[in-house]
Amino acid sequence: MNKLENIAHLSELRQSVLSCKKAQIMAGETVIKVSMATCSLAAGAQGIWDTFQKAIDKGEILAGLAQTGCMGYCYAEPTVEITLPGCIPVIFGNLTKKKAGDILSEFIFSGQIPSTVIALNQTVDPCRKQIRIALRNCGVIDPENIEDYIAADGYRALAEAITMQTPDDVIELLIRSGLRGRGGGGFPTGMKWKITRQTVAVQKYVVCNADEGDPGAFMDRSILEGDPHSVLEAMAINGYCTGASEGLIYIRAEYPLAVERLRTAIEQARERGLLGENILNSGFSFDIHIRYGAGAFVCGEETALIHSMEGKRGEATVKPPFPSVEGYKGYPTNVNNVETYANIPAILLKGAEWFASVGTEISKGTKVFALAGKVKNVGLVEVPMGTTLREVIFDIGGGIKDGKKFKAVQTGGPSGGCLTEKHLDLPIDYGNLTAAGSMMGSGGMIVMDEDDCMVSVAQFYLDFTVEESCGKCAPCRIGNNRLHEMLEKITSGKGTMNDLDKLKNLAYVIKDTALCGLGQTSPNPVLSTLDNFYDEYIAHVQDRNCPAHQCPALTQYFINPDICTGCTLCSRACPANAIRGERKFPHVIDPTTCIRCGACLDKCKYGAVYAF
């Protein structure tokens, strides 16, 4: 076969798969898609799958059953999408085996939505404010079936690039698109590829950074579980453009499902001749291998990641030289993260101008966020750059849980800052978030409400960065420890006004002198909470009081005898047996025994327990 015959073969395969799907529809077959991502499986998706599979095996229904990755409705797992013949898909959430049975007996047979289930896309618009580029196939295709990916235009970008375009043409297209790295730094992707291409060496490498370590972040994991082939295709395109023959995916071993699906995808691509020697008879050879990380957050930094893959201690090194010039084993190495790669096939197929038309002047395209915390609709969202925080949190996320008041949102993970109500109408892009004292980061977005103590939040993130520091440079190794000690002092009621001054001064010193991005950005939670919630710090230091009642040393619990009914709920919930009283008589909390856990406050139905 020549090059064009290979492209024609790929196109024929795509048409064959599409014809099979069309035949299913013409035969009146119901299509059932079950979300089988980590979040879905943890919520019981396997039992839902088994329920539908059993009905199909028994001949009770004529249906095609397929798995998908995360559909984005993490708050409503397990989720299932069902398409009846001639109808639009309906997505059901919060399913159980019993509810799946109700769907079988009522919806599939009669088209009536059972009163016991929630039809998500008939109560909210799942695409409201969203444009899916990186997530275009997640929740749509079977991630373990390469034919599903090929039918969705998979590998066409690679085929056209290596047979019809020069490496410089592809790189120039990426530069025009304005795609910036989605891993945190936001460096222009096309320029990074160009630098690697221009560096002369006998060997080059392409690396996918899948070491997603931010608390509350699950963007990259979801893409790898739901659409692994998009990353493999983009890495192969990268290899063609930069002159690399080998790709390495660095992924933390805590992602077993993502690892399993990557392995499957790599083997399928090799079998189809889309990875390995002489891809599509083009003369271009490229293969991909997996490397495992042990869960060190610092290995998300590209030089630390490279050292870890080399079998060395995962520590950052001074740049330059940058990995694009001298990286893995001393050779030029191009490192991009999962989300960055997921955008590339779509850009090549639809054009630079299409991608650049989405987003803002300086931040093109979309951004995937893992929306988590005190928000109603926890899940995976993808919005155009320039979308406001208010739109993400309240329009897509449904607002704050339990009618509570919004207090702050942490963007950019442990290295980001806490933004407040005054920032809700801030358009999301790299420049705006940095100017507000936070950062884009990889895309974690954790929402907090009125019950959160911002001093404790800063302490939590410092605790994380202290634990995850590689310890190589003194500002991070020692400085962050001192910051953490001062925050502990403040939250335990022993802080002084002098501590607040030292806290801020030391935070700026660390930002200016730390070796890598982890150390340089680690003080952001401290500085942003000092700027936006200084009154809470003052309350902790001067009044010896935690306004949110989250710091045990600064909180006491009392029972109002005029309200207490003596129901004993609080005393039964108290792990320290600090509540005394007889049934139907007011109870009393012993402050010397109370461990200030708040269990009594949570359990009291009458509002008799209060914190001070």
Nearest to 407 by CA among 419, 389, 417: 419
Q: What is the pLDDT of residue 183?
A: 82
Residues contacting residue 123 through CB under 8 Å, at least 6 positions apart: none
Span 78-99, pLDDT tens digits: 999 999 988 889 999 999 999 9
404 φ/ψ angles, rounded to the nearest 5 degrees = -75, 165
Residue 562 pLDDT grade (very low, low, confident, very high; cuts 50, 70, 90)? very high
CA distance 541 to 346: 53
Residue 247, pLDDT above cutoff 80: yes
Residue 102, pLDDT above cutoff 90: yes
Residue 416, pLDDT above cutoff 90: no
Residues contacting residue 347 through CB under 8 Å, at least 6 positions apart: 173, 174, 177, 179, 354, 355
CB contact at 8 A, 564 and 580: no
CB contact at 8 A, 77 and 93: yes
Q: Which long-range contacts (CB under 8 A, 24 or more apart) does 263-271 make?
A: 263/290, 264/144, 264/228, 265/143, 265/144, 265/146, 265/228, 265/229, 265/232, 266/232, 266/290, 268/146, 268/229, 269/146, 269/155, 269/229, 269/232
Q: What is the pLDDT of residue 444?
A: 86
579 φ/ψ angles, rounded to the nearest 5 degrees = -110, 125
Residue 246 pLDDT grade (very low, low, confident, very high; cuts 50, 70, 90)? very high
CA distance 325 to 315: 18
207 beta partners: 248, 335
Torsion angle of C-alpha atoms 263, 264, 265, 268, degrees rounded to 10: 120
433 φ/ψ angles, rounded to the nearest 5 degrees = -65, -40
CA distance 329 to 308: 11
Residue 7 pLDDT grade (very low, low, confident, very high; cuts 50, 70, 90)? low
Residues contacting residue 188 through CB under 8 Å, at least 6 positions apart: 175, 178, 179, 180, 181
Which residue do the tokens 């809700």 mark? Answer: 424
Average pLDDT rounded to a whole number, residues 252-278: 96
**Residue 456's CB: how many other CB atoms inside 10 A?**
18
Q: Whole-prediction pTM value? A: 0.92
Residue 2, pLDDT above cutoff 70: no
Nearest to 240 by CA among 334, 117, 313: 334
Nearest to 439 by CA among 383, 532, 522, 530: 522
Nearest to 135 by CA among 341, 286, 298: 341
Nearest to 366 by CA among 396, 346, 386, 349: 386
Span 363-390, pLDDT tens digits: 999 999 999 999 999 999 999 999 999 9
Answer whether the bond into residue 591 is a cis peptide, omega within 30°.
Answer: no
Residue 4, pLDDT above cutoff 90: no
Strands 444-449 and 366-373: parallel
Which residue do the tokens 């001749």 mark? Answer: 273
Cα distances (Å, whole numbers) of residue 338 to 341, 443, 505: 5, 12, 36
